[in-house]
Homo-oligomer: A and B are copies of this chain.
Amino acid sequence: MADAHVFPIRVYYEDTDAGGVVYYANYFRYFERARTEMMRSLGIESSRLQDELGVAIAVRRCMAEFMRPAQLDDMLEVETRITTVKGASFMGEQVVRRDGEDLVRLDIQLACLNLEGGPVRLPDDVRAALQDS
Contact = CB atoms under 8 A, between A and B. Distances in A.
B65 A60 contact: yes
A13 B36 contact: yes
Nearest to A73: B47
Interface string A34-65: 00100000000111001000001011111111
How many chain copies does the complex carry? 4
B66 A64 contact: no
Main secondary structure of the interface of A (DSSP, over half): mixed
Contacts of A68: 117
Contact of A72 (B46, B63, B72, B73): B46
Nearest to A67: B60
A17 interface: yes
A100 interface: no
A17 to B, nearest CB: 5
Contact of A13 (B46, B61, B66): B46
A58 B18 contact: no
Interface of A: 10, 12-14, 16-21, 23-26, 28-29, 32-33, 36, 45-47, 50, 56, 58-66, 68-69, 71-73, 117
